[in-house]
Structure formats: C-alpha cells, structure tokens
Structure 1
Amino acid sequence: MLSPATPLQRATSASPLRGPRQADRGDGSFCNPIVAGDHPDPTLLKDGADYYMTASSLQSCPGVVIRHSRDLVNWTPIAAALSQPLGSVAAVDLVRHGGRYFVYLSALQGRRSAVYVLHADDIRGPWSEPIDLGLPDCFDPSHVVGEDGRRHLFVNGVRRVELTDDGLATRGGLEFAHKIGQQLREGGADLLSSEGPRLLRRGEFFYMISALASADSHVLAVARSRSVFGPWEDCPSNAIASAGGADAPWCTSGHASLVEGPGGDWWMACHGHENGHRILGRQALLQPIEWTRDGWFRTAGLRLDRPMRKPRGGIGTFAPPTLSDDFSQNRIGLQWSFFDAAPDELRRAHYDDRGLVLRGKGMGLQDCSPLTCLVGDHSYVAELDFELDGAVQGGLALFHDARGFVGIGIGEGRVHTYSYGQEHRWMQQPTQGRRQRLRVTHRRHLVSFHHAVGDGPWMQNPWLRDISALHQNGFGTLLSLRPALFAAGAGEVRLLHFAYQRLGA
C-alpha cells in the first residue's frame, strides 16, 4: 500500500480520493461529457429499460468495453467484449436481435481493414471469438433489419450487404446504396469524404446518418427511405449539425447514435474534442434532438458546454467511479488495457495475493506495450507503489503512443527519465531498493514526477514538461494521453497500489 506519509493520502485522509469528473450534477441536470476521456464513435443500444453503450477501442486490448445505464447519463462499465488484439478497432455497432447481442466492428491491420462480428447470449459475456465477415477494405459497419425481416450491414462508401439469418456471415455481394449529402455538394460544399452511415428505423422510415468531412470541418447529414433497398431521400435541412468553429467549446465529429430516452424524448450521442484539452481524446457527448412534423429530426441547438436537463423518466444509478486500484481484483479489460497488444499479451499479467504481476517486455517505455487507463480530467495526480524482481524496469508514464510519452522508470539501480518518445540518458540517477514509488502530477498540461524508495521521502525529478502537444494533431494518430504502468526488460514488476485523484473543479 502507499505510505500514509504521502501528500496524496494526507490531503484526502478525511474523505475518499476524488474520482474522475462526472456528468450528473445531482440536481436533475447534467454536463457533457457523459463519459469523460477517449470514447470515440459511441454507439447506443436501448434494451427495455436498460441502455448499453460502447465505443471504438483503437489499439487498446482488451477492448470494446460495454457500459450500462438507466438514464443515459450515468454509465458503469460491465464487460469487455473483445479479449484478443485485432489491430486498431473502430466504428463499433452494438445491437440485439433474436435474443442475442452482437458487436460489429472494423479493424485496421496495417494497410488492410476488415469487418468482424462478435456475439453473446448475455451482454456481460462470455463473448465469442471475433468472426471475419470477409469484407476486405471495408469499415464503419452498421447493422439494420429490413422491412422484410432480413438482416443487412451498411459499410463505408454507403454500401449494403445482406447478412445470413444468424448475422454471422454475409449473403451475396456489396451493393451501392446512396450518395448522401449530394445537395450539399451541389451547393458548393467541399466534401472530401464520408464515413460509413449509421442506420436507424423509426416508424415507416429507415434513417441513414453519416458524418461528412470537408477541408476544415465535419457536418452531419441524414437521408431516409421506406426500404433498406432505397430509394433514399436526403434531408432538405442538411447539414443538421456541424463540428463548430475553432472557438467552440466542443469540436464534434464522427458517428452519431440516436436513441429514445426512458421518458419518450430522443437523444443523440456523438464524440467531440474539448477545446484546449485535445490530449483527452474524443469524449462521449449527449444532446437532445427533436422530431419535426415532416418526419425529420434536428438538434435542439443547445450549447454542449452548458448544463442540460437529464432525459425524462430515467433511473439514476449515480455511483462515482474510482481509478484507484489495490490490485486485489482483476480489472484488466474494464479499467486497464494493453497498448498495441501482441497475440499473447494477456499472459504477461497475473494476480496473486499481493497484487498484479506484470512480466517485462521490450527494452523501454517505447516498446513494452504498457498497461493504460482512460482519464478525462484536466488536472490530476497519480501514484504507483510497486516492486521489482529481476533485470526489469518498472515505471509510471503518460502515454499517447510509441512516439509520444513522458514518464519515469526504475530498474537496475537507476532512475530513467523519458520525454517525447526518447530516454534522456544524461538524466539517469542512482537508486536502490526493490520497492519503489512514483508520482505524476498533471496540472493543465504541465507535468512533473516524484520518486521515493520504499516509505522514504519524495524526491522531485528535475524534468518538467508541457505535454499539450501530445495529441492527434501532433502525432497523426487518433489516440489520447493516458496514465500508463509499464514493465520493460527481463523480470517482473509487482504492482501493489495505484492511487488517482482529480485536482481542481
């Protein structure tokens, strides 16, 4: 356990550690994001009184974490549907059909993309192994049941393919369905590409919802048809939503997911970058929509950074989560995931009666597939208490990808300092002892580290870094900056305790 003498514990001795920021304000209203941190392309499933949501997990494994809610605002992780690495997993669709749950997803594997399906009889699992649907170079799958009761999948390029009755294979080939947003192009909009559409059936119409990218923004366009086979009619009010300007509090984009709330009102989930905090990734946002008399929908026009009333009729399940972990229970998949996992990555970790034992891999922070967790706070402090066994280096970092990270590692009698993808060997400092502690303090993009041997005093690392550039625009990868625990080299690191506290409002 962390020493009682640590400032983090002294500051919180009278109350629990302050967990991640929450959407629910406790007065019948909420503030975006509904799930803070990197949860891109959220997809919503209404299942009776229950709601389930998952999102793109990208290079994290286990991935496709499913969350449960009764009010669309408070979300609890309950399962990770994908337990093996497939590449970069994106554009997930979560559906229920015939009493069974399905996840359709796309995975980028080098220069190749593929579409897979997983299934389960219980939303909490166990989930099946992923099944390749044999759709090379396809992505952004969306499942829909046609007016004839048959199942279909729409993918990028607004193409449709029929599925077998069990939903686990395709029947026939891909067919072009519609060129959504054509009237925007004719009106002079410079639309460069469109993402695969999301499909929704309401009343007599099927609705096709797609994000269209221009040179400087994203817009949301809608089309509808009485048949999945078309013809499709574009909404005369396209675009129904846009990403917002450079000064907007949220820059929204990506797949949108519509769902009827518990009280009959309708809501749309999408993702967005928070202005000034792009390192947190694409966060899950919720906003009300209105159905018009002519059968189209529009956003209510509310500011996404202002409090909104919660969906009507929901049952609050407000239980503030914690990222702190004493490693007495297996939370790999729900909280922790490996970055860029190898096929046998999960075998590196096992729990015993003292904590989580992580076997070393690679030569340093850049190639060791660290264990990461998602955060959504602007400022926070985290501490790690751990033991070293063998010629291994254990450490604590903030990790974007193999090129972008900052952190501290301890191994073979030395403190190692990493910054922006490289180790500063000239900063190595001697240290002794099997048990070590590390602390990272992140205050609005300024990061500092401390180190302590056993229960000894904290010593500040001389390296102080601004990490505001460690995001998509700086590295070209759609990832977020996450706390990371790592083990590199030969030997094992026993993780004893991880403590997290949000700083500020």
Structure 2
Amino acid sequence: MPLSDDGLSITGELKPAYSGWKIPREWSIECFCLEGPTIAKRGDYYYLTVAQGGTAGPATSHMVISARSKTPFGPWENSPYDPIIRTKDNSEKWWSKGHGSLVEGPNGKWWMVYHAYEKGYYNMGRQTLLSPVEWTKDGWFKVPGNVKSDAPILKPKQSALTSSFTLSDDFSGQSLNPQWQFLGEYDTTRFHLNDNGLTIKGKGKSVADCAPLTCIPSTHSYTAQVELFIEGNATGGLTLFYDNKYYSGILADKQNILANLRGWQFPTEKNEINKHVFLKIRNIKSTVDMYYSIDGRNWIKIENSVEVSGYNHNVLGGFLSLRLGLCAVGDGTVKFKNFVYQSIN
C-alpha cells in the first residue's frame, strides 16, 4: 500500500506483495504468523526478512525467513537457506528463536539480531541474541555452519567497552535512573528524590493497582533488598511482578510484615516494626525466599516462599517478563533507600 511523501496518508490501493515461506506441517509451531518484515539493500537485491511460526508456543515455533527481489515490490524469491534461524529441538538452550533483523556492522561484516526465550527461564522474557551472517557466492546470506547460538563467538579485535551500569541504586541523583519504570504511568507528581531516597505516594488498594516502580533482573539467581520508611496508612513492598494480576512478594505496613503469594496477602509477622524496615527477596532459579530486618544486618526469613517459573507469557500471555517492583499502596507515602541487587552464581 503506497504512502504519501510525508508518510501520513495512503495514496494507492492495497496489493499483495509476499505470502511467506511454507512451513512443513509436521513441524511443531504456534501458528503461521507471518509478521515483522524488514528490508535491507545489498548489491542488486533487496532482502526481505520476516518472522514466522509464532513468537512463543513450542520451543520450535519461531523462525527467521528471508527472500530477495530486484525491486522492493517483488516478486520475492525465498532463500534456499530458509529458515535462516530456528530452534530445531527443545534440547537447545534458546527456544523460539526468531524475528531477526539483518544489519551491516563495521568492516563490512553482517549480523543478525533476534530474540529467543532461554530454556527453563521463560519468566525472564524474550532476550536479545546476535549471530554473524555470511554471504554466499550466489548472493544469499546464512549463519555460518560452525556458529551456535548457545556458544560464545569471537569478539572483534578491539578494546572492549566497559560499563559502570548496575541495577543497584542509592537514589542520590536528581532523576530516576534508566532501569526504573512505573507500570502503565509516569506521574512526576507522585514521587520525588531527596536525602538519598525515593519517596513514592501511595496509590490504590493493593499491589495490583498501585503502579509499582519496576526494573528487570539480569540474572537467573539474585538477591534484592531495600530500606523502607512508611508514613501514614501506606503499605510498602518489594515484589516480583509480572502484571496487575500475577505477582508475589514481601510488604510492610506501619507495624506488620506482610506476605503476598500470587495476590493472596496477609500478615505473616505481626507487630514487629515501627514504620521502618529492610526487605529482601532471594530468588534461586525461580524459588523465592523472603526476609525482613530491623537493622539491615540481621535478616529473618518469613515462613512463606513462592515459586515463580510460571509467571511467563506461555502461561499468562502479555509478552512480559518477571520484574522486581517497589510498591507504595494506600493513603500515605513510602520512602525507599539503598536498593541493592546482587547476582548469585
């Protein structure tokens, strides 16, 4: 369908351009689901890259398909190397590999960026992978036969970039660090940073409707802890949050420590605190234990633990990942200090 020069209107009729690659019926896929086309130009050809097979579903569902044409309008010839990328068996580390984008890097090297789920860790969401591609003499591209998506590849011969980025946050800046995102909103009147702390005004009546402040864990196993100061009739917490229906964690009101197990919330340690507490989550490969402390040094494990491997798109939909959330619920405020994230090998 042609667009106007400014891209804001349609100037012609819808015409079929490409119908995809025929997936063998015996393959286990989620759906045909032709989607996500991108086009790159190299030499005399335009190369169309699409996703097929469904983003989730079985481990073998998703795939990268390529076709080429001498005009952007077709006709398109499917690559003899299709699927360019695909998970062939659920014994592989990366499942549902697909949705690739072909890019040219430095020194004329070409690469494909794509996404996949990690076996056993669907709740980490779709993760980004990178594979080199090579061009054949007859003008097609493919992933070299000796390259495996679950094995390291040789880095470019230049100095590696270093990064000081960390999920840990002492809230000492003038604005939120980039790892944080409020669920479904960004209300700048609801929070402020001062005195090395982040104060969030309470909202809603539960974790579900409080729009928690979230960040994405980067490792399979970790601890996360934070200090809370509670004012008014607010409840503060540290949760593992998929969406506003599926979450679990540890919380506190002015006096009590609260457990939240899949939305079922109740006091688990009564009359233990006075508006001030440290909370900690310990996640070991989706088995989650929860702790509180009065002084930040001596930790007490609560009775309740939770298993969170099922918090993923294949079970719940939504194409989300399981995130750490800071919650402020109810009438009052919660001040958070010294959020510390530590990976566990």
Q: Is the 8 A contact 2:53 2:63 kept in 1?
A: yes
Aligned residue number for residue 154 of structure 2: 309
1:138 aligned residue: none
Deviation string for 1:400-456 (max 9, x for gaps)? Answer: 112221101111322221112331x26352233222110111111111111122457
Query: Which residue identity lines up with residue 348 of structure 1 in the other structure?
Result: R
Is the aligned partner of 1:435 residue 2:276? yes
Could you say if the C-alpha distance between residues 314 and 178 of structure 1 is closer, same or farther in structure 2, counting changes exceeding 3 Å?
A: farther
Any residues of structure 2 matched to 1:34-433 within 5 Å, and which? 160-165=1-6, 169-173=8-12, 175-182=14-21, 184=22, 192-213=32-53, 216=58, 217-301=61-145, 302-310=147-155, 312=156, 315-330=159-174, 332=176, 334-341=178-185, 345-423=187-265, 425=266, 427=268, 429-433=270-274
Conserved? CA contact 1:205–1:227, under 8 Å = yes
Q: What's 1:471 paired with?
A: 312
Give distance in 2, aligned partners of 1:335 and 1:251: 26
Alpha-carbon deviations, 1:126-169, whole Å to 9, x = none?
Answer: xxxxxxxxxxxxxxxxxxxxxxxxxxxxxxxxxx442534x5x2
User: How far apart in 2 are the matches of 1:466 and 1:188?
Assistant: 34
Q: CA deviation at 1:495?
A: 1.4
What SS is found at the alignment partner of 1:401? coil
Contact 1:396 1:439 (8 Å CA) reproduced: yes
Task: Return the letter of the residue paired with 1:195.
Answer: E
Per-residue CA shift, 1:270-293, capped at 9, x if unaligned? 111111111111111111111111
- Distance 1:245-1:187 versus aligned 2 partners, 3 A rule: closer
Q: Does structure 1 conserve the Cα–Cα contact (< 8 Å) formed by 2:219 and 2:343? A: yes
Instruction: Give the counterpart letter for 2:99 in structure 1.
Output: H
How far off its partner does 1:176 sit? Answer: 3.3
CA gap of 1:279–1:474, structure 2 versus 1, over 3 A, is: same
**In 1, distance between residues paired with 2:154 and 2:65?**
26
Mark the CA change 1:446 to 1:163 in structure 2 (over 3 Å): closer, same or farther.
farther
In the alignment, the residues of structure 1 paired with residue 245 and residue 25 of structure 2 have an alpha-carbon distance, to the nearest angstrom, of 42
Does the CA contact (< 8 Å) of 1:470 and 1:481 recur in 2?
yes
Alpha carbons of structure 1 residues 252 and 290: separation in structure 2 relative to 1, 3 Å: farther
Note the alpha carbon deviations across 1:303-342, whole angstroms, 9 max, x for none. Answer: 21211102x355521225211100012563611001232x
Change (3 A) 1:492 1:280: same
How much is the aligned-residue C-alpha RMSD, in angstroms? 2.4
Bigger CA radius of gyration: 2
Segments of 4+ moved more than 6 angstroms = 186-190
Q: Which amino acid aligns with 1:370?
A: P
Q: Is the 8 A contact 1:382 1:498 kept in 2?
A: yes
Say if 1:232 and 1:456 are closer, same or farther in 2 by CA, change over 3 A.
closer
- Partner Cα separation in structure 1 for residue 279 and residue 272 of structure 2: 13
Aligned partner of 1:459 in structure 2 is: 300
**How far apart, CA to CA, are the structure 2 residues paired with 1:383 and 1:426?**
20
Identity across the alignment (%): 33
Matched letter for residue 436 of structure 1: V
The gaps in structure 1 that reach 5 residues or longer are: 1-159
Check 1:426–1:484 CA distance in 2 against 1; reply closer, same or farther (3 A cut): closer
Is the CA contact 1:279–1:481 (under 8 Å) kept in the aligned structure 2? yes
How is 1:481-496 mapped onto 2 (pairs within 5 angstroms)?
A: 481-496=322-337
Per-residue deviation, 1:295: 1.4
Write the distance in 2 (CA, Å) between the matches of 1:178 and 1:333. 44
Distance 1:332 1:383, change over 3 A: same
- Contact 2:202-2:235 within 8 A present in 1 as well: yes
Contact 1:180 1:234 in 2 (8 A): no
In the alignment of these two chains, the number of paired residues is 338
Letter of the structure 2 residue corresponding to residue 179 of structure 1: Y
Tell me the distance in 1 between the aligned counterparts of 2:292 and 2:152: 40
TM-aligned CA deviation for residue 173 of structure 1:
5.0
Contact 1:387 1:495 in 2 (8 A): yes
CA contact (8 A) 1:252 1:270 kept: no
Q: Report the alpha carbon displacement of residue 384 of structure 1 after superposing the two structures with TM.
A: 0.4
Cα distance change, pair 163–291 in 1 and its aligned pair in 2 (3 A) = farther
Tell me the TM-score normalized by structure 1. Answer: 0.62
Distance between the aligned counterparts of 2:175 and 2:12, measured in 1?
Answer: 41
